[in-house]
Amino acid sequence: MTDKDVPKLLHGLRALTPARVRLDGGTGAQPLGSVLDFQLSHARARDAIRQPVDWEAVRAALDGRALIELQSRAPDRDTYIRRPDLGRRLSDESLARVPRTAPDLAIVIADGLSAFAVRNHAAAMVKALTAALPDLTIGPIALVREGRVAIGDEIGAAMGAGLCLVLIGERPGLSVSDSLGAYLTLGPKPGTPDSGRNCVSNIHANGGLDYARASDLLAFLIRRAREIGATGVALKDDRTQTGRIGEG
């Protein structure tokens, strides 16, 4: 490869991803467009973390489904960022309000680190996933302020759920600020290690995993978890080996 081939190679790589493959080299200042684009992406990432979720919009998009609104032990955003441990447990008042409905699946929507991800994608993922699992009972959708992934363990246990799925805003980057993550746990209970859950990440519209593919994968993992009695390191996406791709 010669120096003349590099621009063509970089152009091809940039067409494959929204990420910054490389800033233009050289000894001079960066082009104004590159600087402004970086500053805009950085501002969007900061806003995704600091702004509150538009919960009213999320509730409206969930079309009258049974909901329960909860709060973690972190009373505000600053505390949430400084004290991750408080975001993993419910406040006493919220815990007392979780109904024990014993569903097959509990679904939790938590703000996490991207308000944009929850606003843009959480309700659509709930609709796609519930449509793919018509035979499962699902508890009231839990909307959790200042929540982290592990808060689903406490909610699922309080509901008496067989499985818990947490939809949560992922940490924003400089190319995508609204990526949603989905974390699945069988037999949720406080203290469950991360090795006991499965993650489907990068759910967003800017070159990420779309709702159809994400819900197809999650539906497979949920059904497979119920078959083998395990999630986490024991549960793999082996649809190519089992011939079950597309099974709903």
**Which residue's entry shows tokens 């009373």?**
75
User: What mean pLDDT value characterizes the chain?
Assistant: 89
Lowest mean pLDDT among 33-37, 137-141, 177-181: 33-37
> Angle at which helices 211-228 and 123-132 pack, to 10 degrees?
50
**Which residue's entry shows tokens 């590099």?**
6
Q: Which residues are CB-neighbours of 92 under 8 A, at least 6 positions away?
A: none
Q: Is the pLDDT of residue 118 over 90?
A: yes
**Where are the extended beta strands (E) located within 87-231?**
105-110, 141-145, 163-169, 180-186, 197-203
**Hey, what's the torsion of the CAs at 108, 119, 199, 173, to 10 degrees?**
-140
- Calculate mean pLDDT across residues 39-60: 87
- Calculate mean pLDDT across residues 121-126: 97
The pLDDT, as a whole number, for residue 62 is: 96
3-state secondary structure of 79: helix
Question: Which strand ranges, in their side-by-side order, compose the sheet holding 197-203?
Answer: 67-71, 141-145, 105-110, 163-169, 180-186, 197-203
Bridge partner list, 145: 71
The pLDDT, as a whole number, for residue 3 is: 62
- Calculate mean pLDDT across residues 187-206: 95
> Residue 59 class from Cβ within 10 Å (0-12 exposed, 13-18 middle, 19+ buried)?
middle
Q: How far is CA 121 from CA 10, 50, 109, 116, 209, in A?
A: 31, 18, 10, 8, 11
Q: Is the pLDDT of residue 27 over 60?
A: no
pLDDT in tens, 86-107: 999 999 999 999 999 999 999 9
Structural domains of the chain, ranges and CATH numbers in brackets: 55-242 (3.40.50.11240)
User: Sign (positive/negative) of CA torsion 117, 120, 121, 126?
Assistant: positive
Q: Is the pLDDT of residue 246 over 50?
A: no
The token duo for 22 is: 């490389």
The pLDDT, as a whole number, for residue 18 is: 67
Percent of the chain with pLDDT over 90: 69
